[in-house]
Amino acid sequence: MKMKQNRINFLIDGAMFLAFLIATAPRLSGLAIHEWLSLSLAAAIITHLLLHWTWIISIGKRLFTKTTWRSRLNYLLNALLFVSFTVTIATGILISREALPLLGLTMARDRTLEFLHHQASDVTVLLLGLHVAIHWSWIVGMLRRIIPVRRVSRSVAISRQMEGANQ
């Protein structure tokens, strides 16, 4: 059951990471895909938070009492990541030229918001890198479980080589 949940988390997180990479390359995706993909990423972030709700609440409750410094750092990093994601997406919605007009809303061009959008996206890239780094062992572990790599022991490998040489 736990493994199944881990797999679901892994697949959702992987898809989110890929979507984020594409969303941060608007030259590749074009503006329309950039905007719609970012909006769907916002929905995915909500899903991600809901899937990790127990962790958020449990660590949040004992953030200032008894928990490890690693968990505190992780919590702080995730909170900052959430804020930077929110700022990026909110400013992105406000400067939207594809998604918002489709809903009948047109905003006046605002340089401050554009600047904030770029700055927040840069901060998000940085924080997301740290987020991935903190969970690196889990990511590698999940990858190994999903794509099992056969590990041949040294002695078996040598005996196979010997057999090949004899033939």
Partner 1 sequence: MKLIGRILIILGVTWLIVMGLNWLRMQNMLPINPDTARSERFVDGEHREGFMRPGRGFGEFRERGERHFEKPSLDGVGDVLGTLTRNRRGYRPYPALYEPACASVRIAGES
Nearer to partner 1, 143 or 158 (CB): 143
Residues near partner 1, by CB under 8 A = 21-22, 24-33, 46, 49-50, 53, 82-83, 86-87, 90, 95, 97, 110-112, 114-116, 118, 125
Nearer to partner 1, 128 or 142 (CB): 128
Q: Which residues contact 139 (CB under 8 A, 6 or more apart)?
A: 10, 132
Nearer to partner 1, 53 or 138 (CB): 53
Residue 153 C-beta: closest distance to partner 1, Å = 35
Q: What is the DSSP string of 105-158?
A: --PPP-HHHHHHHHHHHHHHHHHHHHHHHHTHHHHHHHHHHHS--PPPPHHHHH
Q: How many other β-carbons are positioned within 10 Å of the β-carbon of residue 20?
A: 20
- Tell me the residue length of the chain: 167
Nearer to partner 1, 35 or 142 (CB): 35
Residue 74 C-beta: closest distance to partner 1, Å = 18
Q: For residue 123, give the amino acid letter.
A: V
Residue 143 C-beta: closest distance to partner 1, Å = 17
Residue 132 C-beta: closest distance to partner 1, Å = 10
What would the two tokens of residue 14 be? 């992987």
Nearer to partner 1, 126 or 162 (CB): 126
What would the two tokens of residue 91 be? 């400013």
What would the two tokens of residue 29 be? 């995706």
Residue 70 C-beta: closest distance to partner 1, Å = 24
